[in-house]
Amino acid sequence: MKNPLSFDGFIQIAIVVQDIQKAAETWARFFNIPVPEIRYRPPAPNPDLTYRGKPAEYGLKLANIEAGPFVIELHEPDERDSTFREFLDKHGNGVHHLGFQVGKKRDAIVGELEEMGYAMRTIGYYPGSSWTIVDSEDDLGVNLNIKPRA
Amino acid sequence: MKNPLSFDGFIQIAIVVQDIQKAAETWARFFNIPVPEIRYRPPAPNPDLTYRGKPAEYGLKLANIEAGPFVIELHEPDERDSTFREFLDKHGNGVHHLGFQVGKKRDAIVGELEEMGYAMRTIGYYPGSSWTIVDSEDDLGVNLNIKPRA
């Protein structure tokens, strides 16, 4: 790629689970840390969020675990269509994506990946940054999240 | 836990794939790095390797990608019984485990996890270190590898 990814940009391990309460408590127990707060984002219309090219509207429970230079993000999706629900139905619990911060190269990288034939499973814009899930699990063994900023 | 894990010990993301050649080439392409060498370890009797408590004898293709402070390990198992074959049959391609270096606390940590009811899917000893795969995917969303030394 003309605009390759860099391991220096590694920021995130995102995990999908069927039971986020149990996962949060078990991570806390294993690492002797406080049980991370579980937030709930109810489904809501969002013009800045797509799943496989269509508007996405799904509920999600989330918890973040600060792990030094990176973050472990736990996700428990509801039954509505989302990249997380797709993963859980196909694979069960597991690592949904590895996240990389790429700065201003985000558009160039996503463009190159699309030219190579990779689908963007989810694109979400929010104030200050965005997230883009590259459907790379068949080739890399894991999906990627391309972010301009953490 | 009395002997908790630490994120400071994070050293490894281990991925299982059906096609390690394709995975190695795709990682290299995305990150603009040389295609990592693929090694093949043929099945051989090994008294220092167990899978779910029984002697393990399986073939494995392996490739390591140096990713700064950690290593991405690609694994393509053969059809014989192994923790990697089990994962591939159950989940398809995916992150099999996250590896942590724990120093001299290895035995205490493994003992505590066994007391909590977690099974050790694989234990392997080799000169200078060992690896122990904790079957934690149902609770954490991913398995762990507990290593005294990287």
Using an 8 Å CB-CB cutoff, list chain B residues near A139.
22-23, 26
What residue of A is the nearest CA neighbor of B87? A91
Tens of pLDDT, residue by residue over B70-90, are: 999 999 999 999 999 999 999
Please indicate, yes or no, if residue B118 is contained in any of the structural domains: yes
Please indicate, yes or no, if residue A102 is contained in any of the structural domains: yes
Please indicate, yes or no, if residue A23 is contained in any of the structural domains: yes
Tally of structural domains, chain B: 1
Tell me the residue length of chain A. 150
Please indicate, yes or no, if residue B1 is contained in any of the structural domains: no
Please indicate, yes or no, if residue A40 is contained in any of the structural domains: yes
Contact in structure between A115 and A68 (CB atoms under 8 Å) = no
In this prediction, residue A7 carries a pLDDT of 97
ipTM: 0.97
Please indicate, yes or no, if residue A2 is contained in any of the structural domains: no
In this prediction, residue A150 carries a pLDDT of 86
For residue A92, pLDDT beyond 90 = yes
Q: Does A93 sit within 8 Å of B142, measured CB to CB?
A: yes
Q: Does B138 sit within 8 Å of A93, measured CB to CB?
A: yes
Test mutation, A2, A35, A139, chain B, max B CBs within 10 A: A139
Please indicate, yes or no, if residue A124 is contained in any of the structural domains: yes
**Could you list the residue range(s) of the whole structural domain that residue B13 is in?**
7-147
Q: What distance in Å separates the CA atoms of residue A96 and residue A83, rounded to the nearest whole number?
A: 9
> Six-digit token pair at A97?
């994506």
Q: Does A26 sit within 8 Å of B139, measured CB to CB?
A: yes
Please indicate, yes or no, if residue A1 is contained in any of the structural domains: no
For residue A81, pLDDT beyond 90 = yes
User: What CATH number is associated with residue B114?
Assistant: 3.10.180.10
Tens of pLDDT, residue by residue over B30-85, are: 999 999 999 999 999 999 999 999 999 999 999 999 998 999 999 999 999 999 99
Average confidence score pLDDT of chain A:
97
Average confidence score pLDDT of chain B:
97
Contact in structure between B124 and B117 (CB atoms under 8 Å) = no
Test mutation, A7, A10, A33, A73, chain B, max B CBs within 10 A: A7
